[in-house]
């Protein structure tokens, strides 16, 4: 699959009728975790209690849910802010309408991945995990600094065990494909 344009559509840009996908909300009603999305009456409790929204000018779970209700599928799935949720479940606990907000965000992310929208940072982390067993490549400079300060060497990452653990996780194979690589045997 070719990766869609990386452009993020701001929720503040005027909405065009051509963007609306009226079937999106019905698709969400059938998915585990987002069955109650239409019960949201936009009270804003999820956003006001969200620890991430407190420190972000753009992350608003209420807005993502509203966009989904309106059928703005592309805006939701291409939103960078989708990936800021820390999955703390505060919103789910406090929603007066029993909307499982954190699970709705998970559903959005899964759909985003299926539609080729994975932020570059997660593709890089995936590549690093599969290559080295570490989520981040440790710069040579840092390794030398450890040595110069008499610290013991870092344990070697076990990429083979990581591959076995992640076997069958669709995110991994999607991230690899979108990064231009072929899925490893562990992901096929
Ligand atoms: S707390 Fe619940 S009802 Fe209120 S905006 Fe969030 S999802 Fe909607
Ligand atoms: S689960 Fe995500 S959206 Fe909900 S309160 Fe926590 S960080 Fe915010």
CA 38 to chain centre: 22
User: Could you tell me if residue 179 is inside a domain?
Assistant: yes
If you measure from the C-alpha of residue 87 to the centroid of ligand 2, how many angstroms do you get, rounded to a whole number?
5
Yes or no: say if 135 and 129 are a contact pair by the CB < 8 Å rule: yes
Contacts of 84 (CB under 8 A, 6+ apart): 52, 56, 59
Query: How many Å apart are CA 29 and CA 104, to the nearest integer?
Result: 10
Please state the domain count of the chain: 2
136 and 154 in a single domain? The answer is yes
DSSP 127-141: HHHHHHSSSSPPPHH
Within its chain, how far is the Cα of 66 from the centroid?
18
Residues 54 and 107 in one domain: yes
DSSP state of 12: T
- Identify whether 6 is part of a domain: no
CATH of the domain at 69: 1.10.1060.10
| CA nearest neighbour of 98 among 34, 15, 160, 155 | 34
pLDDT per residue rounded down to tens, the chain (188 residues): 333 333 445 557 888 999 999 999 999 999 999 999 999 999 999 999 999 999 999 999 999 999 999 999 999 999 989 999 999 999 999 999 999 999 999 999 999 999 999 999 989 999 999 999 999 888 899 999 999 999 999 888 899 999 999 988 888 888 888 876 555 444 43
**Structure token digits, residue 176:** 């690899």
Which ligand has the minimum distance to the alpha carbon of residue 53? 2
Residue 182 is predicted with a pLDDT of 54
Residues 158 and 96 in one domain: no
Residues in the chain: 188
Looking at 84, 114, 144, which one is the last position of a domain?
A: 114
35 plus 99 within the same structural domain: yes
What's the distance, CA 107 to chain centroid?
9
Q: Is 4 inside a domain boundary? A: no
User: Are 45 and 67 in the same domain?
Assistant: yes
Domain boundary among 114, 136, 160: 114
Report the pLDDT value the prediction gives residue 11, as an integer from 0 to 100.
57
Task: Report the nearest-CA residue for atom 5 of ligand 2.
Answer: 50
Cα–Cα distance, 103 to 68 (Å, whole number): 14
Question: Is 101 close to ligand 2, i.e. is its CB under 6 Å away?
Answer: yes
Range of the domain at 34: 17-114
**Which of these three, 54, 79, 114, is where a domain ends?**
114
On whether both 35 and 86 belong to a single domain, the answer is yes
The ligand whose atoms approach the alpha carbon of 42 most closely is 1
């Amino acid at each position: 699959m070719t990766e869609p344009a990386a452009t993020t559509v701001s929720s503040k840009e005027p909405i065009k009728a051509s963007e609306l996908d009226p079937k999106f909300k019905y698709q969400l009603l059938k998915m585990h975790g987002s069955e109650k999305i239409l019960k949201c009456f936009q009270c804003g409790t999820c956003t006001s209690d969200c620890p991430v929204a407190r420190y972000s000018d753009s992350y608003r779970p209420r807005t993502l849910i509203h966009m989904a209700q309106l059928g703005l599928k592309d805006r939701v799935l291409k939103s960078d802010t989708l990936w800021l949720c820390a999955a703390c479940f505060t919103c789910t606990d406090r929603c007066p309408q029993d909307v499982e907000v954190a699970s709705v965000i998970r559903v959005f992310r899964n759909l985003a991945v299926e539609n080729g929208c994975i932020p570059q940072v997660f593709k890089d982390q995936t590549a690093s995990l599969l290559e080295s067993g570490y989520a981040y490549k440790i710069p040579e400079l840092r390794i030398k600094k450890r040595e110069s300060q008499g610290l013991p060497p870092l344990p070697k990452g076990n990429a083979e065990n990581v591959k076995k653990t992640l076997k069958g996780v669709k995110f991994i194979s999607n991230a690899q494909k979108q990064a231009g690589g072929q899925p490893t045997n562990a992901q096929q």
